[in-house]
Structure 1
């Protein structure tokens, strides 16, 4: 199956903050009454989430993400709040212990305990349509070695609790405290997958099947494979670019006649830590050879290998332009640090809000 035949959907999570950078609890109110697009509250009341419809190409994905962000920014403004796209909330937070609406969210909070409030994060999830669970697991096995490179080029959470964390993706570090998060194991069959999931449920590491939070997994809600390794990204162009990369990888996985390499989960986890620490500057294991290479070079090779396909779908210019822009301006974490140099954490928040509010413009 070629990448052009695959369908794609993107979910994004956001924070709502006040003018002082403090998280505010008007997430449910910001999306109240919206029925024509998929906007909804998240786990905590200081968060909201959007989801695109079924798309195929970068331009469609970008345009819908921009429209969804504009709707969310408008809803936030009506609550005297700002919408920001960052993997972690930059400012020190006094109290964010207000659970969003919905019985399941309250059950999760009781199940997990207080740490749920100390590391609130926002991610971006890319779904690609597949035929069945067996296909999703085949894709997940293929994408496992790519997770460090994908994480490295998408870091957007340098600041947390008022300080520079020293990481490009502090979200990754915080999120991996969940016992059911992180890179998935290599799974040989749907039966083995069920055995592992049932084991996670039996131990209490996951309260239900949706809490199997692996960085790539079969979706429980729809016939897709879901890649969850990304921070929510500052611009819609970055999010659309990552969606294209995932679609290309899924296409390669479905066409491949060779079994994916059985990279130990511990090695992938360690490489992801390296990626979270250094972002686009990270060298991580090349999925083809295992040798350390710059993550940007690994991604560049993926794009080069699909030049003909991307030209045929009309996406090549977009992909190349986004890569060039990132080379010049850096990832979200780099841009956060540049903003900090000019005005501290307050300027980081202002920059994030400007960036999100201008979602319908070109790259910031």
Structure 2
């Protein structure tokens, strides 16, 4: 595991971070609305870049580069409200859910852009299975591809915890799937998806991409759907394991934890400390377990050799270990407050099931999600200026 320093804050400058969030659009009846491009046009210009996704019922907000959790949270709230207002002007609602909640009369139509059309033609029904799955991707700046590859190795054991923390898709197309993250199960169907192997070097990483392209398992480098990867377009490590969280606060929590894990990994790399070993097959099993149980259950604890422990306990242990990094960037209060708010009602999947249990109506779940997407957890940490030594590092 990445080991935090014991005395004082880290000396290295804090890298910048950014978040991409994918959302569903639904009509008044809670069913998918296929007006993603129209809502994007309605939203106009703003700090976050708004783009379409694989299915026409989806929209994505790619936020700007940020240096603190408070700044990031403000940007996440602003982009959600901007999209929500644009959707409302068309009689629609924005939904932060990993998968469509209600049954649909037919498969959602796909984005007609040439790249998506090519993917759909090549992968057939698999493309429709994975479409309308919504995730949250966190980017953290790294200095070069070799360093990024080594950071990926250090972050691999943390993937199950991050999935459990974000799990927010227990219902899909009118049924309780029995999982906390059904999005993860659907998305893992891609032949280029899943956790990355332990990587020997940047060249090894590149050879894996080349093999996927050669076999047709990916049509371009952007289809490397590993749960952590080097970004195709930015000098960043991109963590892609998470469901889209219900609230902006939870998305900000995930982002600051990921950045702290990256900083801890960079310190380990500088000290020539190896990453925790985790066999690829075991890690896939850990991810299945985390997707099954979510934050209300157990997940693999990297600080206990991968033993399964309650996800809340893993979160507390991670917070203690990452405290110097979070304090250094002014993000510790945000992390503590959001985790504290989740300690009672639990993660997104548990909250969805609690809403359904009250009256047995999935439309109530849709209403709950629409409200949480814009209203959040009700926390209001004040944005803080970054410390003098934590200036942007790119990406």
TM-score category (smaller protein) = over 0.9
Structure 2 CA distance, aligned partners of 1:265 and 1:110? 30
311 and 195 in structure 1: CA distance in 2 versus 1, 3 angstrom threshold: closer
Matched, 1:259 2:274: yes
Q: Secondary structure at the match of 2:344?
A: helix
The corresponding residue for 1:327 is 343
Offset of residue 56 of structure 1: 1.7
Partner residue in 2 for 1:75: 86
Deviation at 1:96, TM superposition (A): 3.5
Show the 5 A alignment for 1:29-44.
Answer: 29-32=38-41, 34-37=44-47, 38-44=49-55
Q: Is residue 131 of structure 1 aligned with residue 131 of structure 2?
A: no
Give the 3 Å change call, closer, same or farther, for CA 4–279 of structure 1 in structure 2. Answer: farther
Deviates most, 306-315 or 336-345: 306-315
2:360 maps to 1:354: no
Q: SS in structure 1 opposite 2:55?
A: coil
Q: Aligned partners of 2:54, 2:178: CA distance in 1, in Å?
A: 26
Number of equivalent positions: 363
Question: TM-score, structure 1 length as denominator?
Answer: 0.95
Query: Which of 17, 21, 29 matches 1:8?
Result: 17
| Deviations, residues 173-202 of structure 1 (Å, cap 9, x unaligned) | 111011111100111111111111111001
For 1:49 and 1:360, locate their aligned partners in 2 and report how far apart those are by CA, in whole Å. 21
Structure 1 segments of 4+ aligned residues over 3 angstroms from their partners = 1-4, 359-363
2:310 matched residue in structure 1: 294
In structure 2, C-alpha distance between the alignment counterparts of 1:360 and 1:128, rounded to whole Å: 25
Q: Equivalent residue for 1:303?
A: 319
SS class of match (1:261): coil
Q: Does 1:180 align with 2:197?
A: no
CA contact (8 A) 1:3 1:248 kept: no
Summarize the Cα distance change of 1:61–1:307 in structure 2 as closer, same or farther, 3 Å threshold: same
Once residues 362 and 263 of structure 2 are traced to their aligned partners in structure 1, the CA distance between those partners, rounded to angstroms, is 41
Deviation readout 1:275-318 (Å, 9 max, x if unpaired)? 00011133333223232222222222221123344334332222
Counterpart secondary structure, 1:263: coil
Q: How does 1:56-135 map to 2 (within 5 A)?
A: 56-119=67-130, 120-135=132-147
Q: Is the 8 A contact 1:15 1:89 kept in 2?
A: yes
Length-normalised TM-score, structure 2: 0.88
Q: Is the contact made by 1:28 and 1:101 (CA closer than 8 Å) also made in structure 2?
A: no
1:276 aligns with 2:285: no
Q: 1:360 to 1:301 in 2, by over 3 A?
A: closer
* Map of 2:172 onto structure 1: 160
Gaps of 5+ in 1: none
Aligned-residue CA RMSD in angstroms?
A: 1.7
**CA contact 2:247–2:377 (8 Å) conserved in 1:** no
CA distance in 2 between counterparts of 1:97 and 1:217 reads 28
Q: What SS class does the counterpart of residue 41 from structure 2 fall into? A: coil
Q: CA deviation at 1:31?
A: 0.5
Note closer, same or farther for the CA distance 1:231–1:353 as it changes in structure 2 (3 Å cut): same
Report if aligned partners of 2:20, 2:138 keep a CA contact under 8 Å in 1: yes
Whether contact under 8 Å (2:246, 2:376) holds in the other structure is no
Where in structure 2 are the equivalents of 1:19-30 lying within 5 Å? 19-30=28-39
**Alignment-derived partner of residue 393 in structure 2:** none
SS of equivalent residue, structure 1 residue 5: coil
Q: How does 1:99-248 map to 2 (within 5 A)?
A: 99-119=110-130, 120-248=132-260
Distance in 1 (CA, whole Å) between partners of 2:377 and 2:322 is: 28
What corresponds to 1:52 in structure 2?
63
